[in-house]
Amino acid sequence: MCSKRTYENALTLLKTRRRNGRPTHVTDATPTLPSTTNIFTGARSSYRGAPSITGMRDWLGKIGYTDVDVAALNIIHVAGTKGKGSTCAFARSLLQARGQRTGFPNKIGLYTSPDLTCIRERIQIDGQPISEDLFTKYFFEIWDRLFLQPDRVTTDDAKQPRFLQFMALLAIHTFTREGTRATIFETHHGGEYDATNVIAAPVVTGITSIGLDHLAQLGPEIEDVAWHKAGIFKTGTPAFSSPQTPAVEAVLRARASQKNVEFAIVSVDPSLPRHANALRPHVQRINCSLAIALVNTFLSAKSPIDKSRLSEQDIETGIENFSWPGRFEIIKTPRCTWFLDGAHNELSIGQAVEWFAEMTSSSLDRDGGPKEPRRLVIFSHISEERDGLSLLRALGTALERNAIRSAEMVFTTYQECRDGEVRFDKTLKAPDPSLADLPKQYPALWESIQPAASSIYVPSIEEALEYADEASHKHGNLQVLVTGSLHLVGGALYLLQRQKADTTDG
């Protein structure tokens, strides 16, 4: 047991709450929709392991909170497959712009996952991760209540909160103690059985684009995934969704009807600024439009000043100040321009490549003709849940579709530094060791996908970045896409930030 109440010891304790691997047993916990909906039939019993919502209400009570206390946080609750984080970040930025103009809301909480470079990214207030001191203080306040009280000691580890369950409880405690006036919660990866669904009375709920992901827990079909995501709908709480496929929309509408929820699909807002950098990827126009609908509904219900919607200036300022690390992010260093986007499924990998192609479109050479920019792609993906080869094929298809035929490929692992050093605050869970050699196979697999393409394997993210930097030094003006797993993007982001800090200090 860690006796000193330090940030480092808090993280050490938190890491003990990670389970070793995904459960393999099937929980017969997912009921089917009524047969009258004609959406799908048969028991939806593919959920593996104990649902994450199990125990949350009891633990919430043990740390001193009721449903009324949680409702007082004024929560916007967001689920989906792709775009949850961006939608939440847009909502935060829009609310902050409105608060700066009118005074409400004047303190905004944001809970998201995963983090890329620091665990505190998951719990933010007014767009900034909480401090190490606050994280440590609030961590031990609830750790002591859950694990150290004599009447709460248990030898059954399964009856104590796991990593994500604890983080959701910590967020609720932090936001309550800090007095947030508006709070945005992103689900982890589900909905119905997600730990964040302990939120019983959100102000409004939103569903971003739904695709085939986390099928071991939520599948096997996309209708099953949609059923789970719509589990955040609450009777009497309005719900909105980004445009979905017909099959997904039908499930969402059926679940909304079942729960007596006012539901609407949000189309892309035609009044959005045309040339805002944050909206260059089309998918961000979709996410921003959903965020505007969520915020306007929130304001109409909760604003003590007036019930007006966001002003045009609020929207422009919110979009201008929007940022979401590792998602459609551009970083410039002396020799390279880096385009970072965590894209760990086939839908998102196509969006990442489309954005990269648009942002690096041909310039003009000295004779006035088009000049193909020099482009390189750094990729890594290691997961027991997702098929790396399918994602690699999707990457090849996306590059071909966007006429990027000359990009060199660099494949790497999740190891950040060449010496194997691991940051103490790195919290993304390492993949199964049995998959450690998978990245070494990617160059050969890539040759079968694009026989004429050039590719290389390097054992660390640091070496991948150095390879790109040296290539740019030799040939000039290299545009680099870093995509695939959030492990890769988070590691690259950390190393690039450290490089910029070292340059500034020097």
User: Residues at the annotated binding site for ATP?
Assistant: 327, 341
d(CA 110, CA 243): 24
d(CA 294, CA 289): 9
d(CA 352, CA 329): 10
Q: State the residue for tokens 């604890």.
A: 166
d(CA 166, CA 188): 12
Compute and round to an integer the Cα radius of gyration of the chain.
23
Residue 40 and residue 221 in contact, taking contact as beta carbons nearer than 8 Å: yes
Q: Which of the 8 DSSP states describes residue 367?
A: T
- Residue 449 tokens read as 């996908």
Residue 493 and residue 378 in contact, taking contact as beta carbons nearer than 8 Å: no
d(CA 481, CA 325): 14
Q: Which residues are annotated as a binding site for Mg(2+)?
A: 113, 186, 214
d(CA 76, CA 263): 15
- Residue 188 tokens read as 């982890």
Q: Which residues are annotated as a binding site?
A: 113, 186, 214, 327, 341
Residues 270-275: contacts with CB under 8 Å, at least 24 apart: 271/312, 271/315, 272/315, 272/319, 273/315, 273/316, 273/319
Q: Please give the distance of CA 105 from its chain centroid, rounded to a whole number.
A: 24
Residue 95 and residue 108 in contact, taking contact as beta carbons nearer than 8 Å: yes
- Helices 163-178 & 7-15, crossing angle to 10 degrees? 140
Angle in degrees, CA 260, 92, 268, rounded to 5: 65
Residue 183's Cβ-count burial label (10 Å; 0-12, 13-18, 19+) is buried
Sign, CA dihedral 253-255-257-260, equals: negative
Residue 69 and residue 60 in contact, taking contact as beta carbons nearer than 8 Å: no
Residue 409 and residue 443 in contact, taking contact as beta carbons nearer than 8 Å: yes
